[in-house]
Structure formats: C-alpha cells, structure tokens
Copies of this chain bind each other. A is one copy, B any other.
C-alpha cells in the first residue's frame, strides 16, 4: 500500500477515485468525502473549460471551492472525449495551464488515445506525440502534480517504450491510458500484458493509475499487477441504465428478484420498492449502491495485501467471468517478472484455488531455487510420499524395487509442488500450503514434470514411495548415528543456500555447529557456529533470521553486492544505532534482493552497519525518495 501526498491531504493507495461530472452531480463531492470517505475524486477540466459559467467559477473559486471537496482532486484533460467524439477543441499547452490555474492537485497531459484497432505504425506515432506533449506539460505544470499517460494500445513494446521514456520527464503519476475499449470488450488477457509492459518501463517511485477501470471485479487483479489508482464513472453511468454492480459482474435491475447487499442503500429497501421508484429517484440510489460495493471491494483488496492472500483473492475474483479467467491465466507468461516482487513468504497460507495457483511466483521461485541452489548429498534419489492411488504409482513402484536396498540414498517428501527435499520441507510455501486431496490434471502433470526434472538432474535417477507411517520410521533411521546423514545439519545447510544463495551454507556454517531446539516441537531455533549465534530459524516460514555474527560470515564468504544494501555515509551512524534504512540513503543494492529478504546493511567500504529485512527490490530502493528500504533489526557498532 502506498501514500501519495498532495496539498489537499494524503491519498492512501490502492484507491478508487469516483468520477465527478461537473455538469450534473449524481452524488455531491461533499457526500463522496464525508459519507463514503473517498480521499480523492477525478473530474474533467475539458468539460469545465468548455462551459463559460463553470470556467469562470472554477477560475474564481478554484476547483476545490467550486466542487466543495476538501480532498485530492485529479483532473482529466479531454483525451477521453477525443476517443469518444473523434477530436477536441483544445491544445495541450492550453489545458495543462488551465488545470494548474483552477487548482487541480493532479493534472493530466492531453495525450493521444491509442485505439485498439490502430496498426503498429500509427500507434507508435501517437506514442511519440504523447511523449512530446508530456515533455511540454512538464514545463507548464508549476506546483501541480502531473499525470503522464502511458499509451501504446495492445503493443507491449510500445507500452514499455512509452513508459521508459517517461522516466526522464518530471511526471508524478502514470495513468495507463487507452484501455477502456479493451475492458468493454473483456480483453483482460491483453490488459494484463499491457499493465506488465508499462510496469516494466515505468520508474517505480510513481503511482500507476489504470484509467477508466471502475468495475470492482477487476480491482484485485489490477492491484496485484501493481496498479495503485483507479477511477470510475461506471457507478453513475450504470445507475442511469438501471444496472447494479456486484463483484461477480453487473446485473440489470429488471432481471433481479432479490437484493443480496447490506450496503446502507440496499439494507434500507428491497427489490420491489427499488423497482417501483421513478427512474429519477432510483438512479441516485443505484449509484450509491454501486459506489458502496466498489469501495467495499477496494477495502477487501487492501485487506488481502495486508493479510497476504491477494493471490487467493485474485484467483477467486477472476472466476467472475471466463475472460477474466483468461486474464488470470495470462499471468503464467509473466511469472518470472512477478517473482522479482514476490515476498520471501506471506502471512497467509498458500491456498490452492485451481490450476492457476501453480503458476504463482512463489511456486516458480521454489522450482527455480531448488533447481539452482539445492544439491543432494547422496547419489541416488529416493522419493518418499504419502500412500494412495496416484496415476504414476505403478511407474514409480518399479523404480522402488530397484533402489530399495541402496544405502546411499536420499529422501524427498511428495507434495503438489513436486518432490520436496526433506531438508526443505518446512519452508514457505511448502509447509504453509493447503491443496484439495482430489487433484486436477494440471497438478498431476506439474508433479510429474517436477519428478522427471529431478530424475534427469541426477546421474542415477531413482525413486521410491512409502506411505506416511513408513516415512516417519525412515526419518528416525536417517537421524541415527552411523548412517552418515544428519538431517538437522543437512537442513540448515540447504535452507541457507536456498534463502541466501549457493555458497551461503559454506560461509555461514564453517566451524563447529551447535543447534538450539524448541523443547515443545523439537524444531531448530538457533544455530550456533564456533560459539556464536549466527542465525535463528523462524517457526512461521522456516527461513533464517540473520544475526550479526552470521552477517559477518556471509559478508566474508559472499562477494559484493550479494545480500547487501549499501548506504551513504550520512546514514551510517543512524543505522548503527538500529534505525531503519530510508530509500534516499541507499547507494546500491543486490539486484536479487526481494521483499522480506534478510539483508546486510553496509557502508561504501563494505563494512557491516546493521542487519534487517528488505521491504523493496533494488529498483524501488534506488528510485524512491522517501520511505523505508530496510527495516533494521539490529545495528552493528
């Protein structure tokens, strides 16, 4: 979640900005603020400027006085009108200063609306004009924040180029424009490609606004992809058509026989009374319902961000319409990009909702890291999994007979993620996941591919299965002295490499290793090497929390910039005291660090200053001028 500061207060994101039509107000801006608690609205400067009376009033009283709205007011420029009516009678160098004059908090460039039916060349030219006008607007904006619109229609490369070229222009907010026709025709898969292309190009310190997105069924997916701001005229537009918004879709009042909403409007009436009203009395009520349900969904999305189940929520919401499900399925193509921003672990358990869940970035990360960072101690593979009828049972049973007598073998726990090395079976999302027992074909195929992949990586790919009880017996056997395999030692080494990178185990654990275990659960709590407490193992996600002696070992054993956040000298004394690292003091950072990763804060001489947890990725730390980069746990003096 984010905070956008303006002369009229702070806008917490993700946020929905109701569209206020200055010509006729469905709901007064004052009510939007006081009753609905919207912190920001959007209105249209082009419409105001074209009406002599409104223009005069806006110039005289200012936009906030004219509309009687004390919060953030964003203005659009007329671009959408050019999409609707072919052209507009205003120039960029007129509408941008006008927005500034009437006191808009966020004014918008008069960009070119790139229509989905345009060819590549025409779109590319429109992008160039948009960029040109944005450069011009940046010189005209004064103290007003400026919204620089990313155009480029359905061409991801044009979207990304447009976004990237905006980096050097003094813009404050980035709407992604020209997407209304795509949303109107349910082209959600294209929308996903477009948002991701824009995000790749944009500087991460500027909020992203999905222009014209106002249907709550889309909010979760769009926020998941990094959209911060939304605006909607739908609440009023649909209301005038007797259309009733729900998170499952939109209904026509005439088709409805039951009201299933407890918003203040619906709980004060019933469907028959609503239908019996005159249209002029009904539509303001429907508009309010539509706003309540939209706001509720945005609040639900915020809760999902905080509670760690935004993937689960998105996967559920995208089942409101098959083409929204297509949007969800398109994420698979972008899982590498999404993985960069995926936190190491989330508070919410990994709930499987369908085949798409296995394409989540946390699964991708697990598959990649076990492939790249995990090394098996033995030479034979032994797959241990729960008893039961599996489609591949016979196949693996044959292998089992062949390896059952082999001493130098190794154990895997069967899971829907694939075979999990027994050393890693307590890390997120493995141990914090819940799947239905009845597997679909995509899950079965995922498991089969993961097993084959593992077998191919081993010289002697072998497999074996046991029921759960036998697993327990074998685990005890593994830990017995004399078998040459100590599960606890193997576990801390495997988790160190998985979490910090190949080589971390060697750096961290070189010496006499002692383990402090929980009395209740017998789980590893603290790892002591040569008498120093180097790391603690967290019960909730199975990963390590770094301690200064551990950080020093990693610093010595892992080359820069690995695991480091480098801070300016100004910041050093504060961080040594245990104060958090602010973005503006970050000089550099390991490009592989992700949110919630344990990091070492160092000065420009690569000396350890503090340890803590990263909240952002490198690009964000470098771009943001405010806010926390690293939550410091302990300063090092």
Contacts and interface: CB of A to CB of B under 8 A. Distances in A.
Interface of A: 189, 248, 251, 255-264, 267, 292-293, 295-297, 299-300, 302-303, 306-307, 312-313, 315-316, 319-323, 325-326, 329-330, 351-355, 434-438, 440-442, 445
A435 B313 CA distance: 20
A307 B255 contact: yes
Contacts of A258: 299, 302-303, 306
Contact of A295 (B262, B264, B306): B262
A520 B303 CA distance: 50
Given A251-B307, A262-B262, 17 more contacts: A248-B313, A257-B307, A258-B302, A258-B303, A258-B306, A260-B296, A260-B303, A262-B264, A267-B292, A312-B319, A319-B354, A321-B351, A322-B351, A325-B436, A354-B354, A354-B355, A440-B440
Contacts of A437: 189, 326
Nearest to A298: B260
Given A264-B267, A316-B316, A323 B259 contact: no
Contacts of A267: 263-264, 292
B355 A355 contact: yes
Contacts of A293: 262
Contact of A292 (B262, B306, B316, B436): B262
A392 to B, nearest CB: 15
A320 B329 contact: no
A445 B445 CA distance: 12
Contacts of A321: 351, 434
A634 B313 CA distance: 49
A221 to B, nearest CB: 13
Contacts of A354: 319, 325, 354-355, 440
Given A257-B303, A319-B315, A326 B436 contact: yes
Contacts of A292: 262, 267
Among A325, A326, A329, which residue has the most Cβ atoms of chain B within 10 A?
Answer: A325
A260 B300 contact: yes
Contacts of A255: 307
A438 B296 contact: no
Contacts of A297: 260
A14 to B, nearest CB: 11
Nearest to A293: B262
A261 B292 CA distance: 9
A316 B325 contact: no
A27 B376 CA distance: 61
7 contacts: A248-B316, A321-B351, A322-B351, A322-B435, A322-B436, A326-B436, A355-B440
Nearest to A324: B436
A332 to B, nearest CB: 8
A528 B420 CA distance: 67
A338 B149 CA distance: 52
A319 B319 contact: yes
Contacts of A319: 312, 315-316, 319, 353-354
Contacts of A435: 322
A321 B348 CA distance: 12
Contacts of A260: 296-297, 299-300, 302-303
A315 B436 CA distance: 14
A442 B445 CA distance: 11
Contacts of A434: 321-323
A320 B351 CA distance: 8
A505 B345 CA distance: 62
Nearest to A263: B262
Contacts of A351: 321-322
A257 B313 CA distance: 16
Given A313-B248, A315-B319, A326 B263 contact: no
Contacts of A330: 438
A438 B329 contact: yes
Contacts of A329: 436, 438, 440
A321 B437 CA distance: 12
Nearest to A35: B267
Given A263-B262, A321-B351, A441 B436 contact: no
Nearest to A313: B248
Contacts of A264: 262, 264, 267
Nearest to A296: B262
Given A316-B320, A323-B434, A438-B189, A299 B352 contact: no
A181 to B, nearest CB: 18
B262 A303 contact: no
Nearest to A349: B322
Nearest to A309: B248
Sorted from nearest, which 10 A-B pairs have the closest CB atoms?
A260-B299, A260-B300, A441-B441, A326-B436, A329-B438, A262-B263, A319-B353, A258-B303, A322-B434, A325-B436
Contacts of A189: 437-438
A361 to B, nearest CB: 18
A306 B434 CA distance: 34
Nearest to A332: B438
Contacts of A438: 189, 326, 329-330
Contacts of A440: 329, 354-355, 440-442
Contact of A442 (B251, B353, B436, B442): B442
Contacts of A322: 351-353, 434-436
A448 to B, nearest CB: 11
A326 B443 CA distance: 14
Contacts of A306: 257-258
Contact of A256 (B256, B303, B441, B445): B303
A259 B326 contact: no
Contacts of A296: 260-262
A538 to B, nearest CB: 18
Nearest to A268: B264
A26 B319 CA distance: 36
A404 B148 CA distance: 56
